[in-house]
Structure 1
């Protein structure tokens, strides 16, 4: 059966689409906000064992309908089969080389500097070029260290602390605040009862209270006075319907760091004020951290959301779809004003 979706696969810079055309059965690509690496899976019919076995470490790029949806490194190749079901070959890839130094523990400390300076040094040791949001790069720290921690671990820790996204893609490591305008195209989903819209299904909770708190409290130490203190801030509009307080367990180094942590938690509470999933006809332009506009479902659900995860799925027999995981409802989502 011929594919209904246009696709192309490159391995180590060579277009192997024509060689795979008779054997490729399924493509799955996932892009998540946060530290999780982009991933890709290719499933091939290996009935005759005729495909040359790809090698881990090879570079792979995938396009769907002419749009590149993945670029990364092969990290595993698996063969499976049974007596009655034939044989298949599964090729999995990640957005960065998992054999590299991203996960190597390091020992490095910095006095009187910025978060950006420290991460650039750490990234250089691990073989990565750092791209850091200026709002984060210029944050001053009296002391910051990696005590047997890897670039991946430090990046994830700082992202949680500062309300940011940390991502490794190829030779680049990126740290950027959640909700920034990355110049990504807005994705639209339209539901029409006659089936003419591009929205296949939705499952959305536009107003969630499970992860919402009234306020945030972060303990810190006043170094001059030698006193333990607490930095407090309201959680904003999202916290108006909550009673619980989000008390951070770790102790901040000083008031500035406590404020940074509190503001990040506040932003996360707003981000998690609603959630859901939608399935669309294939939209290869969709990327994590872009905005998604929902139309045609109902009042209080239609509105704008933040995309936190994208999964593109295409198969020889089943067509192609894009699944989006959503958070941060805006523009009427969560409010029925009738």
Structure 2
């Protein structure tokens, strides 16, 4: 069967598209919101066992419909087969080199420094450049410590604490404020439009979920000048919520407590709804971008934050994009009829 979607695959900078065309049967690319690495799977018909395995650590770039949808490093190669169903080869790549220094423990500290200075230093030790959202970069603390943590662990921990997205792609690490629809550099993320009828194949959306809705986020810290425990509280602005989301751990100071409380506020808004939607292939979709839905029904139509994107292209079955959705806004969750 012939492909119905345009694709290209580069390995270590070399265009391998023509050589792969007789054997490649499927492409799957996943872009998550920072909780996991971007991944890509290439499925091959390996009936004759004639395919050469990619070398360890090979760099892979994938394009769909002319757009770059993945760049990373080969992580695993898996051969499967049985007596009655032939042989297949699956090549899986991750958004960063899992054998690199991103997982190496670091032991260093900084006094009276910004988040940009501290995490930038940790990134350089891991062999990466660092881009931090301006809203987070100037956070200043009197003491930062790596505490024998890897750069990967430090980035993920700070992202959870600050309500941010942490991502490593190739040789660049990014820490962006979550839920704003903007990139770490301040630019607007792509907006994807879904229409029913139109490019929407299916949807399964709960525009209102209350389990993780809180009235406010509270973080406690010990104030040294007054020798007493104090707290920072931020209203989440969620209508009808009564419960208070108090963080169990103690913050180091008021600045950290403020950051943690803001992170809890962001999380509560983000978890106010959830769902999935499947579209005709939409290569512009990115995690943390905005999805605008229309034509489904009142109370479901509106805007959502994209938490994850999966592009699938199949030699015999066309191509689709699946979105994981969070943070309903713009009328989603409200039926005003």
| TM-score, with length taken from structure 2 | 0.97
1:177-188 pair list within 5 angstroms: 177-178=177-178, 179-182=180-183, 183-188=188-193
Q: 1:85-124 CA deviation, whole Å, 9 max, x = no partner? A: 1111000000110000001100011111111100111111
Aligned to 1:235: 236
Matched position secondary structure for 1:270: helix
Contact 1:56 1:77 in 2 (8 A): no
Q: Is 1:317 equivalent to 2:316 in the alignment?
A: yes
Instruction: Extract unaligned runs of 5+ from structure 2.
Output: none
1:95 equivalenced with 2:100 (yes/no): no
In 1, Cα distance between equivalents of 2:134 and 2:208: 32
- 1:60-99 correspondence to structure 2 within 5 Å: 60-99=60-99
Question: Aligned in 2, Cα 1:184/1:235: closer, same or farther, shift over 3 Å?
Answer: closer
Partner of 1:154: 154
User: Matches of 2:264 and 2:34 in 1, distance apart?
Assistant: 15
Indicate the SS of the match to 1:263.
helix
Please give the alpha-carbon distance, in whole angstroms, between the structure 2 residues aligned to 1:300 and 1:326.
15
CA distance in 1, matches of 2:217, 2:70: 38
SS of equivalent to 1:211:
coil
Matched residue SS, 2:262? helix
After superposition, where does 1:204-243 map in structure 2 within 5 Å?
A: 204-236=205-237, 238=238, 240-243=239-242
- Cα deviation, residue 159, structure 1: 0.7
Give, in whole Å, the separation in 1 of the partners of 2:147 and 2:154: 10
Deviation at 1:316, TM superposition (A): 1.0
Rounded to whole Å, the distance in 1 between the matches of 2:181 and 2:325 is 16
How large is the RMSD of aligned CA atoms in angstroms?
1.0
**Distance in 1 of aligned mates of 2:324 and 2:35:** 16
In the alignment, the residues of structure 2 paired with residue 181 and residue 150 of structure 1 have an alpha-carbon distance, to the nearest angstrom, of: 27
Pairs aligned (count): 332
* Conservation of the 8 A alpha-carbon contact between 1:288 and 1:308: yes
Structure 1 unaligned blocks of 5 or more: none
Relative to the length of structure 1, the TM-score reads: 0.96
Task: Measure how far apart 1:232 and its partner are.
Answer: 2.0
Aligned partner of residue 214 in structure 2, secondary structure:
coil
**SS of match in other structure, 1:283:** coil
Equivalent residue number for residue 290 of structure 1: 289
- Partners of 2:283 and 2:144 lie apart in 1 by 40
